[in-house]
Amino acid sequence: MRRDHAAGWLGGVCAGIARRYGVDAALVRLAFVVATVAGGFGIVLYALLWLVMPAGDSVRRSRLPSGRGAIEVALGTGLLLISVLLAFRGLGIWFSDAVAWPLVLIVSGGALIWRGSATASPAPQEPPTAPLVRGEPEQRPIRPEVARAAAAISRTGVGVALVILAGFVFLQATDALSAARDVILAVIAVVVVLGAIFAPWVLRLFRSLTEERAQRIRSQERAEMAAHLHDSVLQTLALVQRRSTDPQEVAALARRQERELRAWLSERPAPGKAAALAPALEAAAAEVEERHGVPVEVVVVGERELDSNLEALVAAAREAMTNAAKFGAGSPVDVYAESNSDTVHVYVRDRGPGFDPGALPPDRHGVRESIVGRMERHGGRARIASDPETGTEVELELPARADR
């Protein structure tokens, strides 16, 4: 389960949960609002989930200018707002100093906190820079993510300070500060005492959660890489062994694999890669047909643009077709895909001797990682039904919301 920044409003937690379980994100948001109103539990739960859930691969890009431009826009907007308020005050159109100025501070602080939380998300990796000229002193690599995180934290800190200042200004202007002073002092004392007692545990918990999250992301990336290598390089090597008597065929296989691997390593789309579901499935079927000499029939109902989740679905379907071609005793392979507003289904079926999915050896990654694991990592699921009489059917399901 991953946070979905593209469809999210705040941190993408509700959208991520909705995407994972195929429910409407508005219902999840409503549940969090109800839990928040009913005692504040919703906010705590949201914060915990934000910490625990890894970020999705779709990162929302800010439409605002960044760097110096953002500072100028923020200062300019603030000054214009202040000029309007001062003009209203000068003209006598004024309600109360006790409300207006704290409101300005809260809006400014809230904007800074919002901006800080939006830019704290990891941005896509920049391509590697050109190598340094020989003879130049070696420079330390620039880490933009560190600079971004530091800027976000400092912005958030200033924002929090402005909001607290707004509270004090309001209390002072309404003469409530003197009355509330004893209460505030008591609260500060309790917070300091509790902080001194629990800070080490909270800090350790935060670090362990962060480390666990990083480990989970690393593990998922490793599994994704293993699945890709299994589907591409290992299968090509197996084909090379099988066709070692035909040097031209072996050379063609090696060239194709090299092109595909180079495109994958440089994060470019593979040569001839389709942009929609139906052509992508047909291309995968044609490739399996060509490699294994088994007819693969594809029927697709409904069309959809490919994104990273649907690419994973096509890769899982391609692996299921390869398995059907390899182990289906030469029987034709049928692929049926259906895409509607809720889900995308792909069925891959052969009439071979079948197998026991529970009895697969642990070192075989084809079904476990390239099909089942891959679908789960992208918010979908895979079901395998196999019978010696009727053959094997692999059902792949991906919620339509997962492709937003």
Partner 1 sequence: MRAARPDIPALVAGLALLALGSVLLLDALGLIDLGFGLFAPVACAVTGAILLANGLSRRA
Residues in contact with partner 1 by the rule CB under 8 A: 64-65, 67-84, 86-87, 89-90
Task: Report in angstroms how near the CB of residue 213 gets to partner 1 at its nearest.
Answer: 33
Q: CA–CA separation, 388 vs 171, rounded Å? A: 78
Output 69 or 195, the one with its CB closest to partner 1: 69
Q: What six digits make up the tokens of 165?
A: 């200042």
Instruction: Tell me if 317 sits within 8 A of 396, measured CB to CB.
Output: yes
Output 83 or 244, the one with its CB closest to partner 1: 83
Neighbouring C-beta atoms of residue 26, cutoff 10 Å: 10
Output 91 or 265, the one with its CB closest to partner 1: 91
Output 74 or 229, the one with its CB closest to partner 1: 74
Q: CA–CA separation, 120 vs 41, rounded Å? A: 24
Task: Report in angstroms how near the CB of residue 156 gets to partner 1 at its nearest.
Answer: 21
Rounded to 5 degrees, φ, ψ at 185 are -60, -40
What strands, in cross-sheet order, belong to the sheet with 333-339? 296-301, 333-339, 343-350, 391-399, 381-387
Task: Report in angstroms how near the CB of residue 104 gets to partner 1 at its nearest.
Answer: 12
Radius of gyration of the CA atoms of the chain, in A? 28
Instruction: Tell me if 35 sits within 8 A of 51, measured CB to CB.
Output: no
Task: Report in angstroms how near the CB of residue 73 gets to partner 1 at its nearest.
Answer: 4
Q: CA–CA separation, 288 vs 185, rounded Å? A: 73
Output 89 or 262, the one with its CB closest to partner 1: 89
User: Which DSSP state fits 341?
Assistant: S
Task: Report in angstroms how near the CB of residue 173 gets to partner 1 at its nearest.
Answer: 20
Output 37 or 73, the one with its CB closest to partner 1: 73
Task: Report in angstroms how near the CB of residue 65 gets to partner 1 at its nearest.
Answer: 4
Q: CA–CA separation, 325 vs 93, rounded Å? A: 79
Task: Report in angstroms how near the CB of residue 323 gets to partner 1 at its nearest.
Answer: 50
Task: Report in angstroms how near the CB of residue 75 gets to partner 1 at its nearest.
Answer: 5
Output 23 or 70, the one with its CB closest to partner 1: 70
Task: Report in angstroms how near the CB of residue 63 gets to partner 1 at its nearest.
Answer: 8
Q: CA–CA separation, 109 vs 103, rounded Å? A: 10
Output 69 or 388, the one with its CB closest to partner 1: 69
Output 42 or 78, the one with its CB closest to partner 1: 78
Q: CA–CA separation, 18 vs 1, rounded Å? A: 10
DSSP string, 219-287: HHHHHHHHHHHIIIIIHHHHHHHHTTT-HHHHHHHHHHHHHHHHHHHTTPPPTT--SBHHHHHHHHHHH
Type of residue numbered 191: V
